[in-house]
Amino acid sequence: MVELLTGFSLLVQQFKALYKKNIILSWRNKRSTFLQIFSSFFFIFLIFAIDKAINSSLSSTTSYKNIPDPKPLVFPPIPPCEDKFFIKRPCFDFVYSGSGRRIESIVERIRLNNPGRVIPADKVRSFQTPDAVDAWLYSDPMHCPGALHFVERNATVISYGIQTNSTSVPKRGRYEDPTFKFQIPLQIAAEREIARSLIGDPNFSWVVGFKEFAHPAVRTFSSVGTIGPTFFLAIAMFGFVFQIGSLVIEKELKLRQAMSIMGLYETSYWLSWLTWEALITLLSSLFTVLFGMMFRFDFFLHNSFAVLFLVFFLFQLNMIGFAFMLSTFISKASSSTTVGFSIFIVGFLTQLVTAFGWPYNKSTKKKYKVLWSLFPPNLLAKALSLLGSATATSEDTGISWSTLAKCHKDDNECVITIADIYKWLLATFCLWILLAIYFDNIIPNSYGVRKSLFYFLRPGYWTGRGGGKVEEGGICSCTSSIPPLEDVIPDDEDVREEESIVKQQVLEGSVDPNVSVQIRGLAKTYPGTINIGCCKCSKTSPYHALKGLWVNFAKNQLFCLLGPNGAGKTTAINCLTGITPVTAGDALIYGYSVRSSVGMSNIRRIIGVCPQFDILWDALSGQEHLHLFASIKGLPPSSIKSVAENSLAEVRLVEAAKMRSGSYSGGMKRRLSVAIALIGDPKLVILDEPTTGMDPITRRHVWDIIETAKKGRAIVLTTHSMEEADILGDRIAIMAKGRLRCIGTSIRLKSRFGTGFIANVSFIGSTPGQTPNINGDAVASTEPHREAVKQFFKYHLEVVPKEENKAFLTFVIPHEKEGLLTRFFAELQDREREFGISDIQLGLTTLEEVFLNIAKKAELEIAVAEGILVTLTLTSGQSLEIPKGARFVGIPGTESAENPRGLMVEVYWEQDEDGVLCISGHSPETPIPPTVQSTASATTDLQLGRTGTVHGFVIDPSEVEGPNHR
Ligand SMILES: Nc1ncnc2c1ncn2[C@@H]1O[C@H](COP(=O)(O)OP(=O)(O)OP(=O)(O)O)[C@@H](O)[C@H]1O
């Protein structure tokens, strides 16, 4: 036997294998990995394009340009009113108030002497008083950019006033400056003409020049700092959505569960994802900064490379941690895009709020800052705004490693620095990871299993001794009380005997060395839950899926568990593999208890499981699956390759070894699952319906593999194929409704539960060659023959037909009549012509029949216990209400002189595809035999039912068939 790795070396091996799996998955999913790493190029290009558009709209403003040597602006003219942004036509270049000849002449000269353009007379409007101007401006807004108010005080004094619309109005991204555009030209014109008028020289030289400061270009708008947060959030969203998707899909497809059963350490699992995503994030951040530099943004060129890189890296890492945490709440991978989109929208809005200065200012309380900083996009917005304002002008040197913890010298509202943001991002990242692990443990998994809210307070959790204790049901739902399980003594003698052997061994504390698994009264009740929703409460009642199993599985043997759907087979397997906790009882696997966490971790090392549904990664090949599971199992690294090769050869997948399992056929997937279950030489192999979906050739091949695998180990197999059970099973048990109904070898079951021999008699005139005429004469002619044959069977073998129709009769002949059969059939054959028989078929009972009988019996048991009534419609048209499952039913009111005890029918029951019992037909009405005690007169069941239907009365089959008849 191979020595498996343990402890730290196993953890490292598992980590490496999972890390490799993540690399392969990312490589096979190139498009999303490419987007994760390089999407920054696209977004930075967008920022670049937006920046260019903004720059071109700002290029006409002087603040944008470097002005080392400003030009003087001489005689700025009064512009035409149409030049004003947003003007209503007709408009006036200016209006004025004041009266008198001198004022009129001043206005006249302003018009005529306007530099470069004479202002037309109809473009100037006069008013008597300033109040009149105001009234006009108020009632006709936006028809004029400025007004002059003249007052002639005396011959040497003329005063004037100016009004302009000081609102700076934007147009196509530019702003109008009313002071320079309207106010100053009006002022110069008014003063010039007043001076000339007072001096009396109309040509008096009046030169006024304006000159702005020499200044470097000022970038009051940082594209990266302003629109960057949204774009960089979008970049991070790729990684965020892919990460949630990857984690949830492994949960949804139960891949994680499968790895856990194989003995996967949680630490390896989380570490493998974390380190891989950290690497992708690192590359993505590196390229973000490099692309930013490539597009020559001051933001990227002037701030230190390391500072920028850390901002993007820590932010994206934080988002990955956030994704880890959110993934614990999501159960469907398809929801990850919706979650990502919602986070993006919320992030966009909160980043807007952050950009407006809230809550990172001195007046906002600290608690709001703390709360706000818990959402990573807000920290990014703040960091980018700090880095943006640190590179606003060419004078600003940006933020370097040494100024990381310092506020910008002009920032009076500085409450947070880049260094603080780093600390916040790191701290919240750790918080998300811890919360992810915590929620992962306390939120019920797909089997409804979770740990208690305070599981981490148990010392056993940290020491590995007793920390595996789990609970069932949601956190916000209370489980209803579980009704006790009644102690039922099994009907079947073999099951009773098996139970007493196990109980005896438990009592004596003796361990049979030939026993691999000892199941000791294993019971499983799924707790009913009361889910308290916002509008209504939903309640489910507890369900006893396993009602106390006592059984030993021997070594070197295949134990086959059969049972109808819902019998509890998978539940039993899940209890053995630790997927679901047991409610009562225990199971020892090679001496280790499934109830103890230490026992369970030992069990995981010695079992291999092929689950009911294939649990495989579509993107991994068969070979990669085997390498991964062999590593998780702890096989020494040197042996993994050869073990995988042998396994592939065993299941005939060598040629498909390198093909992705997504392209495997159903049968190939099942074979791969069987190979995974057998890897690492497990001492107990559990195969849950391993041959489902296989063609007969492949199935036979897998049977060979299983047969070979029996040596040296115990195998538990569940199947719905009776042939498979018959061929492979050394011991077979049939379960129904959570209990073992029978146990033993195939032959024993057939002889005990098989109905014996089945004889099928068909009649001349009913076969295709002898099709009856349209009136059914030929069929009608079989009636006397059928009666004669029935009498013949009744007389010689004491059997009545199990099934009959116009074409044939089916008789079940019990085993004890075996001795009479040779003579009986010889005679029947001799009288074939006389009886109008066309064919006689005789067959042995099959395991399938045993199965159907047991399943039906269990169903009847439940039906009788529940006392459900169903309606039986007789051929006469009369309806009877009878208990579900009743076989012989007496018809009330049929007593006559001829039949003093009345008439009865035998009801035939069958199970539909859901296993529910329904009536398939009934025998002709026959007189109730005198041996029957319970008749209509003896029962009180004669009254009319609720619906007015008559109740039939149940007759004990033993009274009809006699005590020896089964
Ligand atoms: N998590 C659960 N919560 C409540 N009831 C459950 C749960 N899992 C299984 N059951 C119920 O327990 C019963 C046994 O289910 P189980 O899956 O063990 O049957 P099975 O014998 O494996 O059937 P199949 O042949 O269809 O696989 C079923 O009635 C099922 O509805």
* DSSP assignment string, 38-90: HHHHHHHHHHHHHHHHHHHHHTTSGGGS-BSSPPPEESPPPPPGGGSSS-PSS
Q: Ligand 1 centre and the CA of 540: distance in Å? A: 15
Q: Is residue 806 part of a domain?
A: yes
With the most atoms of ligand 1 within 8 angstroms of its CB, the residue from 526, 529, 716, 740 to mutate is 526
Q: Ligand 1 centre and the CA of 954: distance in Å? A: 33
Q: Is residue 626 part of a domain?
A: yes
With the most atoms of ligand 1 within 8 angstroms of its CB, the residue from 480, 541, 571 to mutate is 571
Atom of ligand 1 nearest to the CA of 738: 14
Same-domain status, 236 and 342 = yes
Same-domain status, 227 and 345 = yes
Q: Which helix (H) or strand (E) holds 152?
A: strand 146-152
CA distance 37 to 238: 9
Mean pLDDT of 572-579: 90
Nearest CA to ligand 1 atom 29: 566
Nearest CA to ligand 1 atom 4: 526
Same-domain status, 776 and 719 = no
Q: Is the dihedral of CA 659, 661, 666, 667 positive or negative?
A: positive
Q: Ligand 1 centre and the CA of 637: distance in Å? A: 38
Query: Could you identify the residue written with the tokens 């992708």?
Result: 280
Q: Is residue 860 part of a domain?
A: no
Q: What's the structural domain count of the chain?
A: 6
Give burial (CB, 10 Å; 0-12/13-18/19+) of 467.
Answer: middle
Same-domain status, 766 and 739 = no
Q: Ligand 1 centre and the CA of 568: distance in Å? A: 6
Nearest CA to ligand 1 atom 17: 570
- Look at 583 and 311; give whichever has higher pLDDT: 311
Q: Ligand 1 centre and the CA of 716: distance in Å? A: 18
Q: Which tokens in the block code for residue 749? A: 């079951």
Q: Ligand 1 centre and the CA of 253: distance in Å? A: 18
Number of Cβ within a 10 Å radius of residue 688: 22
Nearest CA to ligand 1 atom 22: 570
Q: What is the ipTM of this complex?
A: 0.97
Same-domain status, 93 and 172 = yes
pLDDT at res. 536: 63
Mean pLDDT of 240-246: 90
CA distance 239 to 226: 23
Residues 6+ apart with CB under 8 A from 19: 272, 275, 276
Q: Ligand 1 centre and the CA of 733: distance in Å? A: 18
Asked if 530 and 555 touch (Cβ cutoff 8 Å), the reply is: no
pLDDT at res. 774: 38
pLDDT at res. 948: 57
Residues 62-87 pLDDT 10s: 667 778 888 877 778 999 999 888 88
Note if the bond before 963 is cis, omega within 30 degrees. Answer: no
| pLDDT above 80: residue 795 | yes
Q: Ligand 1 centre and the CA of 847: distance in Å? A: 23
- Look at 354 and 693; give whichever has higher pLDDT: 354
Q: Ligand 1 centre and the CA of 582: distance in Å? A: 14
Q: Give the residue numbers spanning the domain of 153.
A: 73-210
pLDDT at res. 913: 64
Q: Which tokens in the block code for residue 683? A: 């001492």
What is the edge-to-edge ordering of all strands in the sheet holding 950-951? 869-873, 879-883, 950-951
pLDDT at res. 466: 58
pLDDT at res. 1: 59
With the most atoms of ligand 1 within 8 angstroms of its CB, the residue from 531, 569, 720 to mutate is 569
| pLDDT above 70: residue 189 | yes
Q: Which helix (H) or strand (E) holds 544?
A: strand 543-554
Nearest CA to ligand 1 atom 3: 526
E-only strand ranges, 660-730: 684-688, 714-718
CA distance 38 to 318: 19
- Identify the bridge partners of residue 944 per DSSP, sorted by sequence position: 950
Same-domain status, 762 and 705 = no
Nearest CA to ligand 1 atom 31: 566
Nearest CA to ligand 1 atom 28: 566
| pLDDT above 90: residue 519 | yes
Kindly report whether the global pTM for this prediction surpasses the value 0.80: no
CA distance 592 to 453: 27
Q: Ligand 1 centre and the CA of 870: distance in Å? A: 26
Same-domain status, 277 and 167 = no
Q: Which tokens in the block code for residue 264? A: 């996967």
Same-domain status, 202 and 231 = no
Q: Which of 399, 423, 442 is the last residue of a domain?
A: 442
Q: Is residue 334 part of a domain?
A: yes
Of 118-122, 233-237, 504-508, highest mean pLDDT = 118-122
Q: Ligand 1 centre and the CA of 604: distance in Å? A: 23
| pLDDT above 90: residue 766 | no
Residues 6+ apart with CB under 8 A from 325: 432, 433, 435, 436, 439
CA distances from 292 to 43, 239, 303, 792 (A): 10, 19, 11, 99
Atom of ligand 1 nearest to the CA of 447: 1
| pLDDT above 80: residue 148 | yes
Atom of ligand 1 nearest to the CA of 543: 5
Q: What percent of the chain has pLDDT over 90?
A: 39
Asked if 144 and 95 touch (Cβ cutoff 8 Å), the reply is: yes
CA distance 859 to 863: 6
Q: Ligand 1 centre and the CA of 859: distance in Å? A: 16
Q: Ligand 1 centre and the CA of 571: distance in Å? A: 6
Asked if 611 and 254 touch (Cβ cutoff 8 Å), the reply is: yes
| pLDDT above 70: residue 376 | yes
Asked if 386 and 408 touch (Cβ cutoff 8 Å), the reply is: yes
Nearest CA to ligand 1 atom 12: 545
Q: Ligand 1 centre and the CA of 676: distance in Å? A: 24
Nearest CA to ligand 1 atom 16: 568
pLDDT at res. 964: 41
What is residue 820's DSSP assignment?
Answer: G
Nearest CA to ligand 1 atom 6: 526
Mean pLDDT of 95-101: 92
Q: Which tokens in the block code for residue 809? A: 């009769």
Q: Ligand 1 centre and the CA of 570: distance in Å? A: 7
Q: Ligand 1 centre and the CA of 546: distance in Å? A: 10
pLDDT at res. 693: 76
Mean pLDDT of 169-189: 83
Atom of ligand 1 nearest to the CA of 612: 27
Query: Crossing angle of helices 184-199/101-112, nearest 10°?
Result: 120
Number of Cβ within a 10 Å radius of residue 465: 14
pLDDT at res. 779: 45
Atom of ligand 1 nearest to the CA of 546: 14
For ligand 1, residues with CB inside 6 Å are 447-448, 526, 543, 545, 563, 565-571, 612
Atom of ligand 1 nearest to the CA of 570: 22
Asked if 762 and 808 touch (Cβ cutoff 8 Å), the reply is: yes
pLDDT at res. 372: 95
pLDDT at res. 941: 44
| pLDDT above 50: residue 770 | no
| pLDDT above 80: residue 914 | no
Atom of ligand 1 nearest to the CA of 574: 18
Same-domain status, 281 and 368 = yes
Mean pLDDT of 485-491: 72
Q: ∠444-465-574 over CA atoms, to 5°?
A: 45
| pLDDT above 60: residue 4 | yes
- Range 395-418 burial, b when 16+ CB lie within 10 A, else e: ebebbeeebbeeeeeeeeeebbbb
CATH number, residue 158: 3.40.190
Mean pLDDT of 258-278: 92
Nearest CA to ligand 1 atom 9: 571
Atom of ligand 1 nearest to the CA of 566: 19
pLDDT at res. 411: 76
Binned at pLDDT 50, 70 and 90, residue 531 comes out as: low
Asked if 514 and 554 touch (Cβ cutoff 8 Å), the reply is: yes
906: Cα separation from own chain's centroid: 51
CA distance 526 to 546: 9
| pLDDT above 90: residue 677 | yes
| pLDDT above 50: residue 945 | no
CA distance 521 to 448: 23
Q: Which of 431, 459, 475 is the last residue of a domain?
A: 475
Q: Is residue 929 part of a domain?
A: yes
Atom of ligand 1 nearest to the CA of 572: 18
Mean model confidence pLDDT for the chain: 85
Same-domain status, 663 and 794 = no
Asked if 889 and 874 touch (Cβ cutoff 8 Å), the reply is: no
Residues 596-627 pLDDT 10s: 878 888 898 899 999 888 899 999 999 999 99
With the most atoms of ligand 1 within 8 angstroms of its CB, the residue from 540, 565, 691 to mutate is 565
Mean pLDDT of 118-142: 93
Q: Is residue 498 part of a domain?
A: no
Same-domain status, 361 and 276 = yes
- Look at 646 and 396; give whichever has higher pLDDT: 646
Nearest CA to ligand 1 atom 11: 545
CA distance 836 to 561: 45
Residues 6+ apart with CB under 8 A from 365: 359
Q: Is residue 728 part of a domain?
A: yes
Residues 406-459 pLDDT 10s: 888 777 778 899 999 999 999 999 999 999 999 998 888 877 778 888 888 877
Nearest CA to ligand 1 atom 5: 526
Mean pLDDT of 174-199: 89
Q: What is the dihedral of CA 685, 688, 693, 694, to 10 degrees?
A: 20
With the most atoms of ligand 1 within 8 angstroms of its CB, the residue from 470, 472, 549, 570 to mutate is 570
CA distances from 702 to 662, 725, 848 (A): 21, 13, 21
CATH number, residue 639: 3.40.50.300
Same-domain status, 726 and 762 = no
Q: Is residue 337 part of a domain?
A: yes
Mean pLDDT of 467-480: 59
Q: Ligand 1 centre and the CA of 578: distance in Å? A: 16
Nearest CA to ligand 1 atom 25: 565
Q: Ligand 1 centre and the CA of 447: distance in Å? A: 11
- Look at 328 and 56; give whichever has higher pLDDT: 328
Q: Ligand 1 centre and the CA of 926: distance in Å? A: 42
Q: Which of 423, 442, 461 is the last residue of a domain?
A: 442
Atom of ligand 1 nearest to the CA of 564: 25
| pLDDT above 90: residue 534 | no
Q: Is 936 helix (H, G, I), strand (E, B) or coil?
A: helix
Nearest CA to ligand 1 atom 19: 566
- Look at 294 and 56; give whichever has higher pLDDT: 294
Q: Ligand 1 centre and the CA of 448: distance in Å? A: 13
Atom of ligand 1 nearest to the CA of 735: 21
Q: Ligand 1 centre and the CA of 449: distance in Å? A: 15
pLDDT at res. 195: 93
| pLDDT above 60: residue 878 | yes
Asked if 272 and 19 touch (Cβ cutoff 8 Å), the reply is: yes
- Range 823-845 burial, b when 16+ CB lie within 10 A, else e: ebeeebeeeeeebbbbeeeeeeb
Number of Cβ within a 10 Å radius of residue 583: 20
Number of Cβ within a 10 Å radius of residue 809: 22
- Look at 138 and 543; give whichever has higher pLDDT: 138
Q: Which tokens in the block code for residue 784? A: 């006397």
CA distance 91 to 74: 26
